[in-house]
Amino acid sequence: MKKDLLVFSTLCALASVGPAFAQESPATPEAPPPAAVEAPVAEAAPAGADVSDSSATAAEKQLEEDLNLFWGKRREVSVVQKRLVEKDGRLELTAAFSTIPNDDFILYWPIGLRAGYHFAEAFAVEASFQYALQQPTDLTKFLETDPSIELNQAEIREKIDMFYDLALLWSPIYGKISVLGQKLTHFETYVGLGAGIFHTTTKRADNPNPQAEIKPAGSAIVGFRWLLTDHLDIRTDYRHHFYQKFGGGVSKPAEVSLGIGLLI
């Protein structure tokens, strides 16, 4: 009984000492906050200064980026985002007026029609027909009126009446031109090769009656298409034709034309 009382007294003493010891233990002092380090203020770099090297500060690099953004907006220009006109799968009808100025005796003014089909955005097949109006040159008028020249020597041996061909056109370049800095005009260039027929009238020395002849011909083409709207364009092109000349050799009429096209 005495032993049990002694154990109980010992346990009570230990219980009372525990909290006191916990209260007397010194608390660990909190570490003071680190002193704020004041970042040095970088001087702003002057406009246009080169701050691309590794020694540039962060402030200088930021200033350079801001200046680039500012001048980029001031110098902003429009760019071709997409084609103004999509031609793939569409028909094009063109009324054309031309001139063939490289004949010494006759100035030709062909008028006619062209019909093309754009089977791809950059490729088209086109058929054309031209009727050639004729105007004698000053040389021809002189030869016909000079009394010292015999009539048969002044006669023109071959004249172009009309011609038609079928051509394959390729449009490799699409772009735009700024008109007076206010309006953008879209355009494309095209080149092509064609084959066709020339109808001519010839006069032989042994036969005073004009003779109609049909001659196979080839042509090389280069031109511009100026796109005005989705359905309307203006075309300027140069076509160099080749066919057998009367009396031997190769005749090479050069045709310069202006046309108005309608896309359907």
How far apart CA 107 and CA 256 sit, in angstroms, is 12
- Contact assessment for residue 89 and residue 126, using Cβ atoms and an 8 Å cutoff: no
Residues 50-72, mean pLDDT to the nearest whole number: 73
Residue 51 identity (one-letter amino acid): V
Q: Is residue 29 part of a domain?
A: no
* Domain assignment present for 231: yes
pLDDT tens, 228-247? 999 999 999 999 999 999 88
Residue 45 has pLDDT above 80, yes or no: no
Residues 216-228: tens digit of each pLDDT = 999 999 999 999 9
227 closest CA partner among 257, 258, 184: 184
Q: What percent of the chain has pLDDT over 70?
A: 70
Residue 34 lies in a domain: no
CA dihedral 8→13→15→21, nearest 10 degrees, is: -160
- pLDDT of 214 strictly over 70: yes
Residue type, 239: R
Question: Is 222 inside any structural domain?
Answer: yes
Query: Closest Cα to residue 245, out of 156, 165, 164?
Result: 156
Q: What is the pLDDT of residue 233?
A: 95
Domain that residue 195 falls in:
91-263
**Does any domain span residue 132?**
yes
pLDDT above 60: residue 3: no
| Threshold 0.85, pTM exceeds | no
**Bigger pLDDT: 143 vs 225:** 225
Reference 226, options 180, 264, 182, 259; nearest CA is 259
What radius of gyration, in Å, describes the C-alpha atoms of the chain? Answer: 45
Q: Where do runs of H (alpha helix) occur along the chain?
A: 2-24, 58-74, 138-145, 151-154
- Specify the CATH number for the domain of residue 99: 2.40.160.20
| Number of domains forming the structure of the chain | 1
* Nearest-angstrom CA–CA distance, 135 and 137: 6
30: pLDDT strictly greater than 50: yes
Helices (H) and strands (E) in the chain, counts: 4, 9
Q: Is residue 151 part of a domain?
A: yes
Which residue did the predictor score with more confidence, 187 or 37?
187
Q: What is the pLDDT of residues 149-170, one digit of tens each?
A: 655 555 678 899 999 999 999 9
Is residue 168 in some structural domain? yes
